[in-house]
Amino acid sequence: MASSGLTLQGQVINVGETIDNNGFKKRLLWLEIDQESQYPQTVEIEFVQDKTALLNPVTEGAIVSVDINIRGKLFTNDKGTRCYNSLGGWRLKVDKEGKQSNKSSNNPIPTSTDPPVRPLANPDDDLPF
């Protein structure tokens, strides 16, 4: 069963640069949602191909509404089966403007497709929280 009409609203943490890999364009948006909660969440939303242009006017700190599709794929190898999910943005509305420029962010979105690596505070503790 397909889901439709999923919209996320939140504050823009960062807008990544467009990555062009042999004609396939991708751009990432980090959005902090659930800001009223004690534990706000940050999600990464992918914009691909012509939808990358939707992020051109978006600045850090802006409040936006993003219509998304949830995508998932199973991957099986000799180590087992994993399920990967992604949020794909296809429409964006700026509800409140943010800062004038997002180019000088102190926390830029990495341009690699590899997940970010965080050093462990205690090498014996491998929990991410």
Per the listing, tokens 């205690």 go with 122
Q: What is the pTM of this model?
A: 0.71
In a domain, 10, yes or no: yes
55: which DSSP letter?
A: G
Query: How far, in Å, are 66, 79, 94, 101, 129 from residue 97 at the CA level?
Result: 14, 46, 7, 11, 32
Burial readout 46-83 (b: 16 or more C-beta within 10 A, e: otherwise): bbbeebbebbeebbbebbbebebeeeeeeeeeeeeeee
How many structural domains is the chain composed of?
1
In a domain, 1, yes or no: no
Range of the domain at 92: 6-96
Residue 117: what pLDDT?
52
In a domain, 81, yes or no: yes
The 10 Å Cβ neighbour count of residue 106 is 6
d(CA 31, CA 40): 10
What's the CATH number where 52 sits? 2.40.50.140
Residue 124: what pLDDT?
60
* Residue-by-residue pLDDT tens, the chain, 129 positions: 555 669 999 999 999 999 999 999 999 999 999 888 899 999 999 999 999 999 999 999 999 999 999 999 999 999 999 999 999 999 999 998 887 654 444 555 555 555 555 555 555 655 555
d(CA 54, CA 58): 8
